[in-house]
Chains A and B, each alone.
Chain A
Amino acid sequence: MSTALQSKTSTPAKGGDSRSAPPGRQTPSAGSGARRRTRTGWLFASPALLVVTVVTVFPVVFSLALSFAEVRLDYGGLRLGSPTFAHYEALLSNPEWYHALAFTLGFTIVSVLLELVLGTLAALVLERLGAARGWLIALLLLPWALINVVAAQLWSYLFNGTYGAVSWLCEQVLGTQPDILGRPVPAMAAMVVVDVWKTTPFVAIVVLAGLMLISAEVYEAAEIDGAGPWTTFWRVTLPQLKPIVAIAVLFRILQAFGIFDLPFVLTQGGPGTATQSVAMLGYRILFQDLDFGGGAAVAVSTAAIVMACCLLFLRVLRAQTDEEVRG
């Protein structure tokens, strides 16, 4: 990116005249043409910009305003009072928010890691398959295609302590019926299992696309150099996959951090508050307690944290890539 920018700015002005207009400045006729083009561009883009403003910018700004103001509902409607940090103070002084944050972070790290490993393995297998690949991809995509709430409800039946198939199976094998969703650690594990089952296909398909883009010549060169399958994977395949894996991980971090439907259907955040994610906490504060300021504070703080996580991840990845390029 930086290389491309440098080459653009170092290109001499048209005609190679050192006294001509500096880069970015045009002659009067060229300038009016550029202005016309800009104006036309803005005119064409304005409907889309208006839609983006209404559906994206306004909600974001409104949430920010709600989170930093005294909010009250009266018969005149929703009113924003004087500015305050009270909603954030309430969050930061409450252990429940830290617990929800810790659970969400833990869930995100564990589930994304597992999905990455399993998804990559599945993609490697799929890449080597011939005729059956199409069918297997279709089968693999089934969980991903299921609506989240439906998938969560399906698993809640499987985990159900009274008539669930998983509970029955455990009883047959272990001789005792486990209380999967009623105990903190098994409930968290169950949520990770469902998420991995549901989302690994997405990672697998993305990684498979990356694998198919790697040129066969690279593998041939590695083979000629005497690299075995293990070395080829670590030294050739994985580095080439890094950009596409980064995209998959970014998507997954964003999704996993906002996890709501799984705990909502599977555990209602329980037992206790063991599986209460920050999204669920926000839902409770906003829609059950009708505390609009507090709910907005949860939403804004979560968005800030997840953005920070993503930026950090991108920075680490870029640093690694730059190092490899230099190396």
Chain B
Amino acid sequence: MTLHRRTVLAGVGSAVAAGLASGCGGRDVDDLVAQAATTPKKPARLTWWVSEIPSRRGAVVADLIIRAFERRHPNVRISKINALSTSDGNRSAIATQLAGGSPQPDVYLGDTTWPTQFGRAALALPVNELLPDGFWDAYPEALRRSSTYRGTAYAVPFFLDSTYLFYRKDLLAKHGLRVPRSWEELLHTSRTVQRAGDTAAGFLWQAAVTESLTANVTEFLADAGGTVLDERGRAALSGAAAERAFSLMAEFTTSGVTPRTVTTYEESDSQDAFVNGRGLFLRNWSYAWVNSSTPNVSRVAGKVGVALRPGFEGTGRRGVSCAGGWSNFVNPSSQQLGTAMEFARFCAGEEVQRLLAREAGVIPAMTSVLHGREARAAGDPTVLRAADLHLVARPVQTPHYPQVSKALYTPANAVVGGDLSPAAGVRAAQDGLRKALEGKAL
């Protein structure tokens, strides 16, 4: 046998061609949904891609849920795959795995901003026909909207995350000041306490060039009565509301109420500064309550209060929060579609939702549980006040959400840093949004 160069090249070519064609399995989505519609009784093993769920009393919440499911389904065994806690890192890891056609994990926990993108890329099973009638009535409307792309839901609710204004009770009491109801009042209060030398920073929030800033921009816009995209997914960021929102973001830094380094802050940076006693107010997600009120991790434990986010004076609107949180998605390449779907439904059901209220430092997705006995007994102000929030969805109803998000956070970061005027920032965001929605942005 003589191996010629041409033979080797032909072999390599064949291997490459086979590899290129390997992804084309030709599975039909209706078949997948039909498979997922029945839960087999035979023994099954599931894998659940899940990041750490904050715990109220030290228990591993995911393990409690798995044990509860296995009690109900003795033939099923579930293993955890520990996922990253950051949304972006998590998305990259799971998307690569799913795009490669991996049958594992069977169920994965994903951000509420993912369904459109993952649905469009066929990385999540459509679940409309696999949920009972009236299913979404039990959950906030903003969650249904963010889980749906072109009328099809791709995610099953698990828990919510909402944003609040955390504040130093002791410092406000010392100065005889109340919790601000408007941004204008927050600026005044911050300056008063800063001038007295009692705090380095007035207001801590997140303005790094990440999706965290997109959430902030969405909220400030909603405070001012604006929105990023309209109901039909077209760019709607314009006018006085947009200017007001961008002007406020700039004013935080120009007035010194927020340190200039906020342009590098993500959630953890702002929380670190707050729990180390460097700030009077903090805008953060609900998990910051557990972290800031736990004595061994927070220098200000016992001195922190929680309030709804302020609004703009004269609008009568406050308590706006992005609808954040995590939902369960079913891997369309799973070999256990029926059991995987059953587990996702179980996590959205009342038993697990009440368990979350009791044990987890998160907000259960089921609205009725927020008013239930477990929620009251837990005494977590973020859970107790969740029903008062005005939830807004981030502009996730487009498959170009990452580009839309970038179109918002890039100019907003420059406005906060003083490199762009608020008006120029709005114009840059409009231009970026147009390109992103046309699919022309990188």
Interface residues of chain A, those whose CB is within 8 Å of chain B, are 35, 38-39, 42, 46, 49, 53-54, 57-58, 61-62, 65, 73-80, 90-91, 93-94, 96-97, 160-163, 167, 177, 179, 181-184, 267-273, 281, 283-285, 287-290, 292, 294
Contact = CB atoms under 8 A, between A and B. Distances in A.
Given A76-B26, A288-B92, A58 B16 contact: yes
B15 A267 contact: no
* Most interface-central of B28, B96, B264 (chain A CB within 10 A): B264
Contacts of B276: 162-163
B3 A53 contact: no
B92 to A, nearest CB: 4
12 contacts: A39-B3, A53-B15, A75-B29, A77-B25, A160-B261, A162-B273, A163-B272, A270-B209, A270-B264, A272-B411, A272-B413, A287-B92
Contacts of B403: 289
A138 B91 CA distance: 39
A10 B272 CA distance: 75
A250 B269 CA distance: 38
Given A39-B1, A162-B261, 4 more contacts: A46-B3, A54-B15, A179-B260, A288-B92
B20 A65 contact: yes
Given A78-B23, A271-B417, A179 B442 contact: no
* Most interface-central of B25, B259, B261 (chain A CB within 10 A): B261
A123 B399 CA distance: 53
Interface stretch (B115-123, B156-164, B234-242, B369-377): B115-123
Interface in B166-191: none
Contact of B209 (A57, A58, A268): A268
Contacts of A62: 16, 19-20
Contacts of A80: 20
Closest 4 CB pairs of A and B: A161-B261, A77-B23, A270-B209, A287-B92
Given A73-B121, A75-B28, A94 B23 contact: no
B208 interface: yes
Given A75-B32, A79-B23, A94 B442 contact: yes
Contacts of A285: 442
A287 B95 contact: yes
* Most interface-central of A53, A62, A91, A287 (chain B CB within 10 A): A287
Given A39-B2, A49-B8, A61-B16, A78 B99 contact: yes
B56 to A, nearest CB: 28
